[in-house]
Chain A
Amino acid sequence: MEKKYISHNSLMNWLTKLNDEGSQIYAPVAKGDKTDYKQITSVEEISMDHIQTTQSAKAVAFPRTEKLFSYKKENGDVTLQNFETTSIPETVVFGIHPCDAAGFKPLSGIFNWDTPDLPFNERMKRTTLIAVSCTQCDEFCFCTSVNGSPGNTAGSDILLTPVKDGYLAEIITEKGENLADKHSTFFEADPNINKEEYLAKVPVQFSLEELNKKISNMFESPVWKQQSERCLGCGACAYVCPTCACFDIQEDAHGSSGNRLRCWDACGFSLFTMHTSGHNPREVQSQRWRQRLLHKFSYMPERISVRGCTGCGRCSRACPVDMNIAEHLTEIASL
């Protein structure tokens, strides 16, 4: 891994240049008291004051609504138009935090489990992640409890850590290298800085070891009912989550032609698992809350060797009734 330095001005100029050359740039943009990733046309729009954006950046590779293919019906016959890969633009995601960059690994785990998912992979192929280390955190952050850290390089192509007037740039992957090499003049020599000094201090909230030990064997525990009582059964936690990938497949029909769409769905919804017969394997909210936590902390590690949580805390911030996941995991770890 190569280390370099880039000043704030050079960084903005570099992003502008990349945008001018045809890459679409997604970056945090503030509106009111919320900040979210948006495609920007000018670096002026970028806002870096937030602790966490409302939504994760997963939509870059897993859009909330995506066309999987199109069809056309004519006299009982059908022709199909496959998923269009050539129209996916080169994309740079700037300003995600390490917890978000780390989220692309579990996503990729799900989308590549035995059968590779073309739309996800084609988008990822064209996406470069420039993450920025966290210099501040809040009480919902718990990356350090799930093996992450505010300066974690895993998942990022380039990780920038704010130091003095500019950034320490760690070029992590080949993709990152290619992007940096395109305009190497913006970068300066390794500043030889201990980045730890600049990072937020995110307290560890629970022992992951204890959690792992307990959570896989507690399907029947009364804790799920007790924790989930106030849960309203909306999909806010899943939709803001960087690793939640549950989806629905729907038909967008326009007369004799149309598109098959994939759209976000959530295991918290009461009808998510409902059979046509009316039988519902997860009938009550406590079963659905259990599914959410066990899927992330037991089933995913067991089946695809990756945890479904990076400790970003978004689900807790987004929840209308303060279902604080770190608090619940702490409770489970100390059972």
Chain B
Amino acid sequence: MDELRNRAKELFEKGEIDIFIGYEQGTRNPRPIFVGNAEDTQKLVFNDKCTGNLAVYLTRKDLVKGKRVGISASYYALKSIVQLFVENQLKEENLKIFGLANDGKIEALNSLDEIKHYIKDTPPPPKLEDDELIKQIDAMSSAERWAFWSDELSKCFKCYACRAACPMCYCTKCIVEVNRPQWIQPWASTLGNMEWQINRVMHMAGRCSDCGSCSTACPIGIPIHLLTHKMSETVKANFGDPSDKGNVLSTFKPEDKESFIL
């Protein structure tokens, strides 16, 4: 933790950044903080409870526009950052990134290539609990699965915390807010809630870092990250690892499987 504080402090002292996005101690768990000077870097913390994906703030124009930004990024946040680069949302020269490994090691990642190598060389933090839940859901009959998701999604009140917490949801006008035509019912109801989640997950295909922030953010506790987690697996199995040539929704390759077209 001291190392993170000192290295962030150093960036300020050298005049290399204007703000540093990290975690500070919150009410129960660490929460995001925007450090604006060398002194305040001493508020920074990092531990295994720092789970929110800070990359979500990198596309918030009101916070970062025109600023040189330092950020402490977990494994999943790094994956999101790579994807944001692929989607032309970030500029390398404005970013100083510290990769934060689960073992507490801090690594300065100074270019997109370095992040990519880091991710390649670092095993993803295991998601044993999610894998287990997916296994349980996979084992359900389709009627049981429908009942499970109908019950879970009936509770959704469309606060869109899942969208707000996701680094990939940076659109200024989301499909749920487009009303000509109205693609998705804007009010909360089981079917409309499903439409929303199905759309959200589809838009994440090949882009999702699998960080699980959507679900952590959900105030009702709906395990919606299982949908993106499962989708990530499916995409990987069918289309291979994501490349920097775009995501599976926006690219077409002649060898793409089209088993879904009857």
A binds B: yes
Chain A interface (Cβ < 8 Å from any Cβ of B):
32-34, 36, 54-55, 64-65, 139-140, 229-230, 232-236, 238-240, 248, 250, 252, 261, 263-264, 266, 269-271, 283-286, 316-318, 320-322, 324, 327
User: Does B32 reach chain A (CB closer than 8 Å)?
Assistant: yes
For A139, give its contact among B27, B60, B172, B188 (CB under 8 Å): B27
Q: Could you tell me the distance between the alpha carbons of A264 and B26 in the complex, rounded to whole angstroms? A: 29
Q: Could you tell me the distance between the alpha carbons of A271 and B157 in the complex, rounded to whole angstroms? A: 17
For residue A246, give the distance in angstroms from its CB to the closest CB of chain B: 12
User: Does B56 reach chain A (CB closer than 8 Å)?
Assistant: yes
DSSP class of B's interface residues: helix, strand, loop or mixed? Answer: loop
User: Do the beta carbons of A64 and B157 come within 8 Å of each other?
Assistant: yes
User: Do the beta carbons of A263 and B188 come within 8 Å of each other?
Assistant: yes
User: Do the beta carbons of B164 and A250 come within 8 Å of each other?
Assistant: no
User: Do the beta carbons of B217 and A65 come within 8 Å of each other?
Assistant: no
Given contacts A65-B188, A250-B187, contact A321 B27 (CB under 8 A): no
User: Do the beta carbons of A234 and B160 come within 8 Å of each other?
Assistant: yes
Chain B interface (Cβ < 8 Å from any Cβ of A):
26-29, 31-34, 52, 56-57, 60, 62-63, 155, 157-161, 163-165, 172-173, 177, 185-189, 213, 216-217, 219-221
User: Do the beta carbons of A233 and B164 come within 8 Å of each other?
Assistant: yes
For A234, give its contact among B52, B164, B188 (CB under 8 Å): B164
User: Do the beta carbons of A236 and B217 come within 8 Å of each other?
Assistant: yes
For residue B133, give the distance in angstroms from its CB to the closest CB of chain A: 12
For residue A261, give the distance in angstroms from its CB to the closest CB of chain B: 5
User: Do the beta carbons of B186 and A234 come within 8 Å of each other?
Assistant: no
In the bound complex, residues from chain B placing their C-beta under 8 Å from that of A140 are 27
User: Do the beta carbons of B219 and A284 come within 8 Å of each other?
Assistant: no
Closest residue to B173 on the A side, CB-wise? A271
Beyond A64-B187, A263-B187, 14 extra complex contacts between A and B, CB < 8 Å? A229-B34, A230-B57, A232-B56, A233-B164, A234-B163, A239-B157, A250-B185, A263-B158, A266-B159, A269-B160, A271-B177, A285-B60, A321-B165, A322-B29
Question: Which of A34, A234, A283, A317 has the most chain B CB atoms inside 10 A of its CB?
Answer: A234
Closest residue to B156 on the A side, CB-wise? A64
For residue B63, give the distance in angstroms from its CB to the closest CB of chain A: 6
User: Do the beta carbons of A239 and B159 come within 8 Å of each other?
Assistant: yes
Q: List 29 A-B contacts (CB under 8 A).
A: A33-B221, A34-B221, A36-B155, A54-B220, A54-B221, A55-B220, A65-B187, A139-B27, A229-B32, A230-B32, A232-B56, A232-B161, A232-B164, A232-B165, A234-B159, A234-B163, A236-B161, A236-B217, A240-B219, A248-B187, A250-B185, A261-B187, A263-B187, A264-B158, A271-B173, A320-B161, A321-B32, A321-B52, A322-B29
For residue B225, give the distance in angstroms from its CB to the closest CB of chain A: 13
In the bound complex, residues from chain A placing their C-beta under 8 Å from that of B177 are 271
In the bound complex, residues from chain B placing their C-beta under 8 Å from that of A324 are 26-27
For residue B97, give the distance in angstroms from its CB to the closest CB of chain A: 19
For residue B165, give the distance in angstroms from its CB to the closest CB of chain A: 5
Q: Could you tell me the distance between the alpha carbons of A284 and B65 in the complex, rounded to whole angstroms? A: 13
Closest residue to A284 on the B side, CB-wise? B62
User: Do the beta carbons of B159 and A235 come within 8 Å of each other?
Assistant: yes
Q: Could you tell me the distance between the alpha carbons of A140 and B29 in the complex, rounded to whole angstroms? A: 13
In the bound complex, residues from chain B placing their C-beta under 8 Å from that of A283 are 62
Closest residue to B26 on the A side, CB-wise? A322
In the bound complex, residues from chain B placing their C-beta under 8 Å from that of A248 are 186-187
Q: Could you tell me the distance between the alpha carbons of A264 and B159 in the complex, rounded to whole angstroms? A: 9
In the bound complex, residues from chain B placing their C-beta under 8 Å from that of A65 are 187-189
Given contacts A239-B159, A320-B165, contact A230 B187 (CB under 8 A): no
User: Do the beta carbons of A264 and B188 come within 8 Å of each other?
Assistant: yes
In the bound complex, residues from chain B placing their C-beta under 8 Å from that of A232 are 56, 161, 164-165, 217
In the bound complex, residues from chain A placing their C-beta under 8 Å from that of B221 are 32-34, 54
User: Do the beta carbons of B216 and A320 come within 8 Å of each other?
Assistant: yes
In the bound complex, residues from chain A placing their C-beta under 8 Å from that of B33 are 230
For residue B155, give the distance in angstroms from its CB to the closest CB of chain A: 8
In the bound complex, residues from chain B placing their C-beta under 8 Å from that of A264 are 157-158, 188
For residue B194, give the distance in angstroms from its CB to the closest CB of chain A: 15
Q: Could you tell me the distance between the alpha carbons of A194 and B12 in the complex, rounded to whole angstroms? A: 59
User: Do the beta carbons of B31 and A234 come within 8 Å of each other?
Assistant: no
7 A-B pairs with least C-beta separation: A320-B217, A263-B187, A234-B164, A318-B219, A322-B31, A232-B164, A235-B159
User: Do the beta carbons of B26 and A54 come within 8 Å of each other?
Assistant: no
In the bound complex, residues from chain B placing their C-beta under 8 Å from that of A320 are 52, 161, 164-165, 213, 216-217, 219
Given contacts A54-B221, A284-B62, A321-B31, contact A250 B186 (CB under 8 A): yes
Question: Which of B29, B159, B216, B221 has the most chain A CB atoms inside 10 A of its CB?
Answer: B159
User: Do the beta carbons of B165 and A234 come within 8 Å of each other?
Assistant: yes
For residue B22, give the distance in angstroms from its CB to the closest CB of chain A: 11
In the bound complex, residues from chain B placing their C-beta under 8 Å from that of A64 are 157-158, 187-188
Q: Could you tell me the distance between the alpha carbons of A183 and B247 in the complex, rounded to whole angstroms? A: 65
